[in-house]
Amino acid sequence: MTADYRLPTHSKPSQYDLLIIPDFVNFTFQGSVDISITITDATQTITLNSSDITYPTSADGKPQISIKGSQGGISADQITLDAESQRATFNFPSSLSPGSYVLSIRYDGIMNDKLAGFYRSKYTKNDGSVSWIGCTQFEATDCRKAVPSWDEPAHKAIFRVQLVVPEGMTALSNMPVVQKRTTLDSSKEADQSRGLQYKAGSVHHTYAETPVMSTYLLAWVIGHFDYISGYTQDHKEVRVYTPLGKSHLGHYALQTSLQCLPFYEKFFEFEYPLPKMDLIAIPDFAAGAMENWGLVTYRETALLIDPQTSSTVTKQRVARTVCHEIAHMWFGNAVTMEWWTYLWLNEGFARFVEHLAVDHIYPEYDIFTQFVTDVYYLALGLDSLRNTHAVEVPVKLAQEVNEIFDTISYAKGGSCLRMLYWNVGAENFRRGLALYVDKYKYKNTVTENLWDSLSEATGRDIKKLMDSWIKQEGYPVVTASEVQGKEGRVLKLSQKRFFADMSDAKAVANESLWSIPISVGAYRDGKLRERFDSVFEAQQGEIVLPSSFSSEDVLKINIEHTGFYRVHYDEPLFQKLLEIVPSLSPIDRLGLQRDTFSLATAGVGSLERALDVMSRLKDENNFSVISALSTTLHQLCSLHSENERVISSLRGFISGLFSSQFGRLGWQAGATEEHQSGMLRGVVLSIIGETQDQAVQEEAMRRLRAFAADEKDSSIAGDLRSTVYSICMRYKTRESRELLLSIYRRTSSAEERVRILGAIGRINTSKEGSTVEEAKRAIQDNLEWWTTDEVRNGDSAYLLGSISSSNLGRQTVWNHLTSDWKAFSARFGDGQNFVLSSVLSGVLVGHSTLVAAEDFEKWFEENPMPAAKRTISQLSETVRLKAGRLERESRELEKWLTEKNY
**Residue 337, Cβ density class (10 Å: 0-12 exposed, 13-18 middle, ≥19 buried):** buried
The helix or strand, by DSSP H or E, that contains position 787, with its residue range, turns out to be none
Nearest-angstrom CA–CA distance, 87 and 83? 7
Closest C-alpha to 512, from 641, 382, 383, 356: 383
Whether residue 347 is annotated as binding a ligand: the answer is yes
CB atoms under 10 Å from CB of 858, counted, come to 10
Catalytic site includes residue 673: no
The pair phi, psi for residue 740, each rounded to 5°, is -65, -40
Give the CA angle between residues 16, 269, 233 to the nearest 5°.
85
224 is in an annotated binding site: no
CA–CA distance, 452 with 557 (Å, rounded to integer): 30
Strand ranges in 525-647 using DSSP code E only, listed in sequence order:
527-536, 540-544, 554-557, 566-569
* Cα 350 from Cα 48, distance rounded (Å): 30
Catalytic position from the list 152, 325, 752, 889: 325
Number of CB atoms found within 10 A of residue 59's CB: 5
Report d(CA 703, CA 486) in Å as an integer. 67
Instruction: Reduce the DSSP state of residue 649 to 3 states and report it.
Output: helix
Q: How far is CA 892 from CA 198, 602, 885, 899, in A?
A: 73, 14, 11, 11
What does DSSP say about strands 540-544 and 527-536: parallel, antiparallel, or unpaired?
A: unpaired
**What gap in Å lies between CA 803 and CA 823, rounded to an integer?**
19
What's the CA gap between 709 and 729, in Å, rounded? 17
How far is the first Cα of the chain from the last one, in angstroms, to the nearest whole number? Answer: 62
Angle at the Cα of 226 from the Cα atoms of 752 and 28, rounded to 5 degrees: 90
58: three-class secondary structure by DSSP = coil
> Cis ω on the peptide bond leading into residue 281 (within 30° of 0)?
no
Helices assigned H by DSSP within 535-619: 571-579, 586-601, 607-615
How far apart CA 236 and CA 261 sit, in angstroms, is: 9
DSSP 8-state code for residue 621: -
Q: Report the run of H or E that residue 334 belongs to, with start and end.
A: none
Query: SS3 string of 464-517?
Result: HHHHHHHHCCCCEEEEEEEEECCCCEEEEEEEEECCCCCCCHHHHHCCCCCCEE
Residue 261 CA to residue 233 CA, distance in Å, equals: 10
d(CA 217, CA 206): 18
Around 393, how many Cα atoms within 13 Å sit in the side-chain half-sphere?
Answer: 23
483, β-bridge pairs: 490
Sign of torsion, CA 867 871 877 878?
negative
**Which amino acids are annotated as binding site for Zn(2+), given as ranges?**
324, 328, 347
**Which amino acids are annotated as binding site, given as ranges?**
324, 328, 347
* Catalytic residue annotation: 325
